[in-house]
Each structure stands twice: as structure tokens, then as C-alpha cells.
Structure 1
Amino acid sequence: MFGNKNLLKRVIVVALIGMLTLALAGCGGQEGKPNEDEVEYPNKPISAISPWSAGGSSDTAFRTFLNYMSQEMGGVDINVTNMTGGNGSIGWSAAAKAEPDGYTLALLTFDILTVEAQKLAPVSYRDFDIINMFTKQTCVLIVHGDSPWNTLEDFLEASRKAKAEGKKLEIGIAGEAGLWHQAGVVMEEATGTEGAYKYIPFTGSADQLAAMLGKHLDAMITTTTASRPHLKEGTLRMLAVMSDKRSEEFPETPTFEELGYDVKYDSWRAVVVPKGTPEPVLEILREAGKKAFDNPEFQEWAKESDIGAMYLDHEDTIKYIENQYPVVEGVMKKFGLL
């Protein structure tokens, strides 16, 4: 009987030790298990796709902004590749198909809406997760500094004369039927110069600028970013701004509205990643994007470069794009660009 009692005690002790061992092992396992919300990102170089030509306004703004984002992520290398063509659709298609792991960023611009409306490629702004918008910039009308047109009225008078003679002035635009083309046809209707222009498409503002400087164009519709030094030097001349207010960098140039013409058209730029990128990675990128935008050095560069720096977080960017798409589609239908 006593033997049975001793045996029972030993069994209970062994059982308790076993349970304690399992409990401790379980605790150790939990401590060693990584938190699913914690990621080691970035731990290798990041690729980025710019759908516009190197050295152009959008490409320059994108590369500069990414430099400041890199600083906020431990100085990780962000290598930009230019994939131009198809009014941006080639670059966006490649970006949308990339692995959604945070290691492929892309520059999204206004013309993704044009591409979708025209069905140029099976790609949409909906194929991306937004990091943030970082610029909203107005379109401007620019001529060569040696041209005989010192004012918008000079240019419009020449446009009407050319039309009456069966000729057309040539205006350079980045991408066919896109933002700049749309701005041009809106200008035509507002100024009564319909049919006075031939639009010459380029793969980006860098090529467009080279043609303008070489006097191969009568005018161009663009932003001031790439043209800024030439406008400062007088090599190029800005005739009017397609906004409700003058440029801070070039306050002497009037708006179309001031001159009696209802012409307003804006561009924007945003950083995006392929749809389905993990939320923890998105949070890191979005935090880096906000800090990059708020960096005093970036703000100083943005003001000097007149890129129209404006921050919208991912939610407000989506709302902005969703509201703009039907407007763009309506303009393109109205002027036969679809």
C-alpha cells in the first residue's frame, strides 16, 4: 500500500514536471516567434520606374523626392529606370506587374487617367497602392525668347492669322492626347483658335525642351520645372499660366483668366507601388514619404524649382484621382480625343 502511494507521488511529480516543461517551452516559443506586423524593410536596394524621359520635369521631381525618401529609410539605394512610351503606359504596365513587395516604386502622373480613358493599355490607377501625392503643378504656354510674340495676345493673333492662311502653328506636348494636349484644346476653345495648331508629341519634357530651344516648335505647353533656367535667362518666354493664380517663381506672367480666358489645367505627381503590397511596408513608405515632403531641404528645392509641391496622403490622393477621372474623360470626349 505504501509502495503504491509512493509510486503515485512519483507519477504526479513527473506529470507536473512535464507540464511545467511544456509550458516553459511554449513561452519560449512565443518569445522567439517574430511578430507578423514587424518586417525588415528595406533590406536591399529598391527599384523605381519613371514613365517619362530622363531629365524632364516629372523625372527630375520624382528622382529628387525619392532621394529624400531614401534618407528617411536609412539611405537605401533607390535606382530609377526610365521606361518611356505609350503616354506613360509602358512604364505603368511594367510597374503594375512587378512583385508587390515594396521593392518596386513608380511615378504616377495625370496621364494614367488618359491612358485608362483611351484604353491604350490594360492598366489603371486602381492597379496601385498610393504612397502619397507630392506635387500639383499648373500648365503654362511657353515660346522661344527670340520669337516675335511678347504677350499671349500676340501669340493668339498670330494663331488666327495662320489659320486664316490655311497654316498651323506647331505646339510641343509630352504625350499624345494627354494632359498637355488636353490643355491645348481647352485653350483653343476658350481663345477662339480652334484648328490653328498642330500638336507635336514627345516622350517627355526633356525632348520637348530640346526641340523648343532648337526653334523647331512655335510654342510648347508644359510646366516650368525643366524650363526654369531658360526662363530665367530669357532663352524662353512664358506667355500665360493655366491656373487661378500666378506662379510664385514667375509672378510677372499673367494667368489666362486675368486676360479674359477661362483656361485652367493642372498636373500632379504621386509615388505608388503595385497593388497588394503588405500593409507594414506601405506604412514604412508612407511615413518616409511624409517626412521627405516635410524636409526643409526638399521644401527649399521645391520652391526654387517651382514644382508645385503639395502633399496629399494616400486616402486623399485616391479621392482626388477618382473625382478627376470623369472630368478628364469628359474633356477628351468633347474634343474628340477618345
Structure 2
Amino acid sequence: MLKRLLLLLCLTGHVFAKEPPDVECLVVHLKYVHCSWNKQGTPEVNYTFYGWFVIIRDSADVSECPSYLSENNINTGCNQPCGSRFNSFYTRLVHENQSSKEKEHELKTKVKLNPPTNLTVHYGSDSNLWLSWTQISSNCVESEVRYRINNRNWAVVSIGKQNYCLNLPSHSSLYELQVRSRIGYACGLSEFWSDWTEPVVWGSNNSTDPNKMNSSMSVWTPVLSVVGAFILIVLVMMLLHNERWVICDSQTSHTCCSFLKDWFKFPEGLKEGLNYNERPCPVREYCHVRQSDSESSDCSTCSVTTDQTDCSVFIPVNESDLPTPCSSSISQF
């Protein structure tokens, strides 16, 4: 019975043994390889890490991790110098001399660059906004620029060089710009982008404050409305005066001008000006009488009744024929 129990424990012991965690590796900025084994949480025990590049099969320099990363005194990762990322990279975790299975990593597409540096923006003599930055291996790197205006949505542009031109920016707007990069197709496209740089800012933030924008609109709206109404009234009055679309005489002045006032909706001050109330004025007519016939002429025949709206009528005559005043009558309008 005891022998059977020992045999059962030997056969099932590997089932209860704790499997070592999985190892993931990434090339950081083409300078070192970062490997970690805490994706599923901090391990319960400390593991010894081994990692190496294989240049020639069955020939490798296997060495322990030179720089561990830890959490609560438990090893969770390792940074070690980077070889050629185009060669296979192998890892191994060991606990109490119990070696785990080796794992092969293809690092060609697993490169993450640091964010670009020396990010600067300046307004050029060509009236464009120029953004420039520095990144390693400019021939192998592609970049993305994202910018936004006045805190609106980001716009993203992909470029293959280390500068970007934003055409004809507005000085009254606020521009924020950021850059990130990765290894491009020419050198083995990476799956990972760098982190975004800290934003650089250019322009004015006056238009970014909604309260200021609303205040500005509230000041200009009534001014523009008054100016527009005044210009419209002047144009209408000029058309009425020059083209004479409507003529208000003494008989139709009340009806006609009331129509104009209601149609054009003039202000009260202008409406009063459209009341054409004319007062009656006397008009005297002169007749020409010869010197010899002055005594026998019947001046009553010269009496003429006229309707004149101008109370200062002057009829020019020759100095040799001085007019003689004739009988006059008054016409009421």
C-alpha cells in the first residue's frame, strides 16, 4: 500500500508543481533588452533570469541578468545589453536549480523608441509654423505629429522626416503639438510607437476662453446690428429720393406716406419726417401792361388762381417791362 502511494505522488507531482511565469521581452530604444515575467502578477518566488542572443546555432554566451527589476524584493524583470535584434533571443527562468524551459523571442518587430527630444516650434519667414525634433537613426524612423487648435479634437499626420510644417497659422489661436515615432519599414517595421512628447504650445489663448468669446460677441452684436440698420435706411432713402418710386403730393400724402412707414418700418423719428403737412400760401401773379394801355386795361382779366406748393415764386422780367401788380386771389389747398 505504501509503495502504491509513493508511486502516485511521483506520477502526479509535476501537476502540483508551480509552473514558472511567462517571459516577455522588448528592445528599448535599440540600447537594451527589457524582459519581464509579472504580467499575471508578482511571482511568489524569486527567479534567476538568463538571456542571450544566438548568432551561430549551438554557440551562445549564456549569462545571468546584470540588472534585475523587483517588486517587494521579488524579481519581476531584467534589463540587459542589446545585441542584434535580427538574431534570435532566448530566455530561461530558474528557481532553486530547477531549470524551466527555454523560450525563443523574435525581437525584430518588438522595438520601442523613447519619445523624440529637442521638440521646438517657431514661426518662419514664410508665414508657416515649423515644428522640429530629434530622434535616433533618422533614416530608419517614421513619425506622427498630432496637433489641436483651441483645445479642439486632435488631428494626426504621418510623416517620414523629423520636421513638420503647418501652413498659415492664425496668431489669435492656440496651437498644441506633439510627436511620437517608431522604427519604420526600411529597418524592420516595429509594432510599438514611442510615447507622445510633452506638448509644445504656440499662439494666443485669448480665443480658447468661451467666456471671452461670448463677451466679445455680446459687445459687437448690437453695434453691428445698429450699423447695418442705419446703412439699410440710408440706402432706402437714397433710392426713394433719386429714383422717385413713390411721389406724395398734397392729395395723397397721408395715404401714401402711411404706406411707406408701415412697409419700411422706419424709426419713430423718421416716421414723423414723412408727414407731409403743407400750409396754404398766397400766390400773386403779375401781368405785363404797356405804358399806353395802363389806364384802359382791365386788370381783372389778369387775375389767375394757381396752386403752387412753393411760397416764394419769382418770375424774372426785363428791366424795360416793369410788371404792374394785378388783382390777386388766394388759393386754399
Q: TM-score over 0.5 for the alignment?
A: no
Larger radius of gyration: 2
Higher relative contact order (CA 8 A, sep 6+): 1
TM-score by length of 1: 0.23
Which is strand-richer, 1 or 2?
Answer: 2
Which is helix-richer, 1 or 2?
Answer: 1
